[in-house]
Amino acid sequence: MNVELALPTRRHEDFRYADIAALETVWPIVTEEIAVADGAEDSLQIVETGTGAVARHIAITLGKGAKFDLRVLTAGPAYGRIAVDVRLAEGADFTLGAAQLATAEETLEIVTEVTHAGLNATSEQIVRTVLAGKSVGTYLGRIAVERGADGTDAEQSVRAMLLERTATANARPELEIYADDVKAAHGCAVGELDAQGLFYLMSRGLTPPQAKRLMLQAFIAEAFTGAAGEEELSAAAIARLEAIL
Amino acid sequence: MLKIENLQANVADKPILKGLSLTINPGEIHAIMGPNGAGKSTLGYTLGGRPGYEVTGGSVDFAGQDLLELEPHERAAAGLFLGFQYPVEIPGVSFVQFLREAANAQRKGRGEEPLSGGEFLKLAKEKAGLLRMDMDMLKRPVNVGFSGGEKKRAEMVQMGILNPKLAILDETDSGLDIDALRICGEGINAIMRAPDKAVLLITHYQRLLDYVKPDFVHVLAAGRIVKSGGPDLALRLEEEGYEAVVQEAA
């Protein structure tokens, strides 16, 4: 168990927290450590649908050839922070599929640090954020490729959808690469629902909230594709989308 | 069924429809033809209630209701179907899921019981069959990766499933090869040729009208209907061109 006692401040060079005031209410955060042995596979599904503040810090260490599948749905908390540190040894594979859905004054963030420490490790992160009202959704994703970690393949796909112009989306992908043979792809987009698509769906009889919900369901679906708990995650996400719309 | 009187509409503050009047009775098939920029698609979108198509004058009565007061989904529930010239691709949403929700939303709007999954699939299969479309295609995301012809056939399958009173079909024939044109034409006849239904075909060309015989043909130019006639008017247009017919009417 690893507990950081001092609350971070905005002066920190490595400042990665969206809401210090809310953070104070859940501080200190106990790091949840997960180690996956060489060649082993594990997974974790995090569903935070309560309304209170929640902050979790998960540190995952993957042995040689180990695999980890992490799925996250944050949909409900006034402040919701999921921080994930992952360290991959040779040939390890890490998948993150995350969706965060917020409305009103909610602040949600996903903060990752994925370190490729060995040869030929692969990581893929898919993060989808839906923001209504005056909510704030943040993704900070750092990928570090250590010296000698050739053959690294690291992907980030980050998209946010603003349902109202009063909402704020932040996305900051960071790459720190100290190896030569590296594939690191990151895509990042913030957008609004396609008006043409909405009209098409409504012209067939869907009410405006139904049409939006269907398009948003499709928007976040990729984050849960292939998850063991795909249906459960989708159902929880749809319930929250219906409440937001 | 549909009574349009002196309809005027703007797109981006520019007047496009400038006093269009048209009455369609149950059992009738009307074709609106006209040159590019005449306002044909604007008419379709305005009747469908698309945002950005602003009605500035006139009235539209649809089966006893003021159509212009209704939201797009309410127009659908009232029995209006708009076939799109360019059907929209919606990644991640399957046709089956979307159409079942749409059919049931319409039924709810009319105070009817929803269709069960089994009932819906049976209906979808029957209508897809009319358009020679494989059910597997309807399990795919809406219009994604469909060819132009497949999109138009899928529009007709949607029309079959939703079973409207009035279908406004905006250039359903564009992008179709000869076989697909015939299949779509036969589909329109099978689904919409009925004493209590009506169709408004919006088209550039006479060729669709070989399969779907209209009772009335209208020429739209500069935002107004300038000439109306029977099926022979379409043939004349094809021979003489719009310009001659429009000038003669002026």
Residues A224, B224: Cα–Cα separation, whole Å: 52
**pLDDT on residue A87:** 98
Residue ranges for chain A with pLDDT beneath 70 = 1-5, 13
Q: Which two tokens stand for residue B52?
A: 């950005």
* Cβ-proximal residues to A108 (8 Å cutoff; 6+ apart), any chain: A74, A77, A79, A80, A81, A100, A101, A102, A129, A135, A136, A137, A138
**Which residues does B63 contact at the CB level (< 8 Å), separation at least 6?**
B1, B2, B78, B79, B165, B166
Query: Which of A196, A202, A217 is nearest residue B73 as measured by Cβ atoms?
Result: A202
How many Å lie between the alpha carbon of B48 and the closest alpha carbon of chain A?
7
What six digits make up the tokens of B98?
Answer: 């979307």
Q: How many domains does chain B have?
A: 1
Tell whether omega for the bond before A28 is within 30 degrees of 0, i.e. cis: yes
**Considering chain A, what is the average pLDDT of its residues?**
93
CATH number at residue B38: 3.40.50.300
Contact A222 B72 (CB under 8 A): no
Q: Cβ separation of A202 and B77 shorter than 8 Å?
A: no
What pLDDT is attached to residue B39?
93
- How distant is the Cα of A103 from the closest Cα of chain B, in angstroms? 23
pLDDT of A4: 63
Q: Which pLDDT score, from 0 to 100, does residue A19 have? A: 80
B71 contacts in A (CB within 8 Å)? 202, 208
Extract the residue ranges of chain B whose pLDDT is less than 50. Answer: none
What domain range is B41 assigned to? 2-249
DSSP code per residue over B68-97: GGS-HHHHHHTTEEEE-SSPPPEEEEEHHH
Predicted confidence at residue A92, as pLDDT, reads 98
| Residue pair A154/A126 in contact by the 8 Å Cβ criterion | no
Enumerate the residues of chain A whose CB falls inside 8 A of the CB of residue B102.
Answer: 201, 204-206
pLDDT of res. A3: 60
The pLDDT of residue A23 is 84
Distance of residue A120 Cα from the nearest chain B Cα, in angstroms:
31
3-class DSSP string for A209-228: HHHHHHHHHHHHHHHHCCCC
Q: Are B116 and B202 in contact (CB under 8 A)?
A: no
